[in-house]
Amino acid sequence: MIAPGRGRPSIMEAMPDVRTRFAPSPTGLLHIGGVRTALFEVLFAHRHGGQALLRIDDTDRERLVPGAIQSLIEDLNWVGLHFDEGPSDEEIALADSAYQGGFGIGGPAKPYVQSQRVARYREISEELIRRGHAYRCDCTPERLEKERQEQTERKEALGYSGYCRRRDVPGEVPHVVRFLIPEGRSITLPDAVKGEVRWEQIILRDPVLLKSDGFPTYHLATVVDDHDMRISHVLRADEWLSTAPLHLLLFEALGWAPPVFAHLPPVLGTDGKKLSKRHGATFLGAFREAGYLPEAILNFMALIGWSPGEGEQEEIFTLDELTRRFSLDRVNNAGGVFSYEKLKWMNGVYIRQLAPEDLEARLKPFLSAAGLAVDGEKLRRIVPHIQQRLELLPDAIPLVQFLFKESIDRDLDAMLKKGMDETTAREICRKGADALAALPEFDAASAEAALRKLADELGRPSGPVFTVVRIAVTGQKVTPPLFESIYALGQHDAASRLRETAALLGAREPA
């Protein structure tokens, strides 16, 4: 039972050397909520001049996914979260045969992969047995199942009966190691976000610390590693709060000072429920593929559950600015809402702030993935004229694809509006091609002047004339500014497309 929280404790008391850790399990892709946790870990550590560690918690052997460590580290690197200590290339390669290298970190607390620290966990489990805080258990799966059935029939809470507590099971027989939960204990956690959290009664029943295969459970491994790696502050998701009593008891049993815990509010969908795939994309890789910028993602995630200060209206912050401002005192206890629309808006803000050459570089992979043979000079010319229209990087594809195709489709009927006929449209294309090809200096301004002069010579309003030219040159009714599009396409290609359209229109005219 969790009692109501009181005021938040001092999070810096007697802990000047701040060390945090992000410890993902390589059991799948990196969730966007995990990005928020990792971000807060890095911000808090660096705000106080400390170190943020990356640790791979891979003791859940049954759920390991080959290549997951590579994916996790690539995602963290792409989003711009850099850790001061973490697994080396050698450690990662040993843990994941799919690892391709290049992201190793290293550090004095190595190894940073739990599966390579198993001897240490076994040592500590033996120490707990010697101190009387743990015991070996050789209960068979059949016996444990029988216990659960009997507890269910008696309508009791499910859990281990304690049968092996006083049996002194020898170490030579197959066994697990269980923690001896003290009876009649209450536990108080001074949480840096929730305030004081109190459990009047511990409902756990002697949980397993070391499995029969010699691997630790999460509880033993994380407590040992947090101690050995001198972690001062543990920032983790709210869902882990229920494990805090066991972790505090383990620290106490081993005579170690626990770190400061800060349980972060959940990331919610707009319906107030925990964010899940029913709301939309939830894995970081999906946002990357959708064309979000890493800077926008970090900025947006920082504001879910944290605020820069009362009365602060600004919402756009660089990572350096977030680092200077971040404080656990401003992390909310209540869940924060993940709005896909707001993230898209913020992404657009960041795209508009990019230097044109930076935006070019970020667009190229998306354009190439769309099957476009990107010409760097053409892209350079058009980027300033589409930048304000983009919210996601792939938004550029329909705007610029006409530049990178050898042939385009045209809706010729769309030209023939507002009194425009095929004969006139053909004349516009033919004479427009000649006018552009004759320009001694070619740019957007000279193209505009030549085509406006043509409209005047034909005695036609410029609007319908430019519609014909637009469709002829780009194949689209909606494009970036027309004359900038013509300039980006190039003098030769623009004139060639106008002549091609004139021929198509000529083929439609009755003999």
Which residue do the tokens 């009966």 mark?
161
What is the distance between the alpha carbons of residues 36 and 15, in angstroms, rounded to a whole number? Answer: 24
Contact 343, 372 (CB under 8 A): no
Which residue do the tokens 């008391």 mark?
13
Neighbours of 353 (CB within 10 A): 14
Tell me which residue of 485, 465, 471 sits closest to 399, measured CA to CA. 485
- Is 146 one of the annotated active-site residues of the chain? no
Check 277, 342, 364, 418 and give the catalytic one. 277
Tell me which residue of 13, 115, 108, 110 sits closest to 69, measured CA to CA. 115
Contact 203, 180 (CB under 8 A): no
Which residue do the tokens 């494009």 mark?
479
Paired tokens of 145: 């199942």
Task: Give the β-pairing of 187-191 and 2-3.
Answer: unpaired
- Report the interhelical angle of 32-47 vs 68-79 (nearest 10°): 60
Q: Residue 428 has what DSSP assignment?
A: H
Paired tokens of 177: 């190691």
CB-based burial of residue 55 (10 Å sphere; 0-12 exposed, 13-18 middle, 19+ buried)? buried
Peptide bond into 170 cis (omega under 30): no
Residues marked as catalytic: 277
